[in-house]
Amino acid sequence: MNKISIIIPIYNEVENIQQLLSYLEKIISKDTLYEIIVVDGGSTDGSLEKVKTSETIKLIQSYKGRAKQMNRGAKVASGNILYFLHCDSFPPANFDKAIVKEIEKGNLAGCFRMKFNWNHPVLSVSQWFTRFNHIICRGGDQSLFVCQKLFVSINGFNENYIIYEDNEIIERLYAKKQFVVIPQYVITSARKYQQNGVWRLQYHFGIIHIKRKMGHSSTSLLDYYKKNII
């Protein structure tokens, strides 16, 4: 029987984590076995007190860094399907059934389409492209599901990447020709765009993608990010 392990990395998400956990418990179908694993990277803002553990919700500790945290969650997961979800992204109702359906069809990895929770012309264009099954249209805010065996076979997330870790693992999954885009939407926060400015952040994200294509190291990408993005 299929079981989904929903893995959520957090670091100082006191304003978001409780809302997301309550939301997930309401909209998951309950037709699929599931567990929610919250992986904390050393929060100091009271986030841990917002995570009410239960039979389905676990809280574990990890070194800080989303790649490290998500790998840590995957190691303790008991499900045959891993679903990696950012703390400010909300999947569609019955997302578990949609994921299981794809797994049963032999699609061992994939994501949902994405919409932002804020209207802006640039973001509207960006989110429209998430419907296409092409590597250039992918990103971590769309969430990621992957069969546990496939995840192990590609050695999980590359922990050298403090940023770009989602894109890096998705590149390897595309190379395996195992990726599918489910035609339902994850609603994700536009808070990073609101903090940095839409055009400014889009520009810097573009530069990071170009640097990656040019062969820059994970350290080079991180240095650029720290210098230019809040």
Is the same domain home to 84 and 146? yes
Is the same domain home to 30 and 126? yes
Is the same domain home to 32 and 48? yes
Is the same domain home to 158 and 172? yes
Is the same domain home to 211 and 129? no
Write the DSSP string, 34-56: EEEEEEES---SSGGGG----SS
Residue-wise pLDDT tens digits, 48-102: 999 999 999 999 999 999 999 999 999 999 999 999 999 999 999 999 999 999 9
pTM over 0.75: yes
Please give the tally of structural domains in the chain: 2
Is the same domain home to 225 and 214? yes
Residue-wise pLDDT tens digits, 178-210: 899 999 999 999 999 999 999 999 999 999 999
Is the same domain home to 177 and 226? no
User: Token digits for 215?
Assistant: 């062969």
Is the same domain home to 129 and 224? no
What CATH number does residue 52 fall under? 3.90.550.10
Task: With beta carbons less than 8 A apart as the criterion, state whether 115 and 186 touch.
Answer: yes
Residue-wise pLDDT tens digits, 110-144: 999 999 999 999 999 999 999 999 999 999 999 99
Angle between helices 66-76 and 165-175 (to 10 degrees): 60
Q: 113 Cβ partners below 8 Å, 6+ apart?
A: 127, 130, 131, 142, 181, 182, 183, 184, 185, 186
Range of the domain at 201: 191-230
